A and B are shown apart, each in its own frame.
Chain A
Amino acid sequence: KAGVTQTPRYLIKTRGQQVTLSCSPISGHRSVSWYQQTPGQGLQFLFEYFSETQRNKGNFPGRFSGRQFSNSRSEMNVSTLELGDSALYLCASSLGLGTGEEDTQYFGPGTRLTVL
């Protein structure tokens, strides 16, 4: 099976712009989660989607949003970019059925976002 794929792998944006990141889960996985990784804050949970519905959300401002499509692919959008949004954004997928083995998350390679 193909793993989790994320596009693009690298992005450079300027302050005030918006950005959209894409994630394609492992085939058959219906849950997609997003995480932000920075040297200062480490790995932080952004949100999780299952069957096009957001089930859980982390403590991030409303500038961070996401959505999931009927084929389980997910996008994450950040509006009005700030310098502090520079980070590695990781997407993970799982079956998402709430029974341990089926909740095991598998990660993609990440999108490196640099905000200038």
Chain B
Amino acid sequence: AQSVTQLDSQVPVFEEAPVELRCNYSSSVSVYLFWYVQYPNQGLQLLLKYLSGSTLVKGINGFEAEFNKSQTSFHLRKPSVHISDTAEYFCAVSDWGDYKLSFGAGTTVTVRA
């Protein structure tokens, strides 16, 4: 079974500063990787995904992530955050053909002016 570790539970950051959220997963087999964002009292919104190909993927709202197979990592970055980026962020992994997502515990990002 997949295990997903999000290394930071809380990340405070000032507006317009960069942010990086770290994610590591356990499986060495072929996987799909996702980042989702959850705003208060809402469901999960897909930010970006890695399925195959280029290891640097770009998503919505200026986010990007880099897949590193040797380190089994999929870290999320944004060069300049806004107050509206305050939310909880989840890293998720799916084994090929498994039809389910395994999630990390989440990282709460709080952006301050």
Q: Which residues does A use to contact B, with CB under 8 Å?
A: 4, 6, 31, 33, 35, 42-45, 48, 50, 55-56, 58, 90, 92, 96, 98, 100-101, 103-110
Contact = CB atoms under 8 A, between A and B. Distances in A.
Given A90-B43, A100-B51, 10 more contacts: A33-B99, A43-B101, A43-B103, A43-B106, A100-B52, A100-B96, A103-B32, A104-B32, A105-B101, A109-B42
A101 B111 CA distance: 32
B43 A108 contact: yes
A45 B101 contact: yes
Contact of B99 (A55, A109, A110): A55
A32 B99 CA distance: 10
A48 B94 CA distance: 13
A101 B99 contact: no
Interface in B28-78: 32, 34, 36, 42-46, 49, 51-52
B100 A98 contact: no
Nearest to A55: B99
Contacts of A107: 36, 43-46
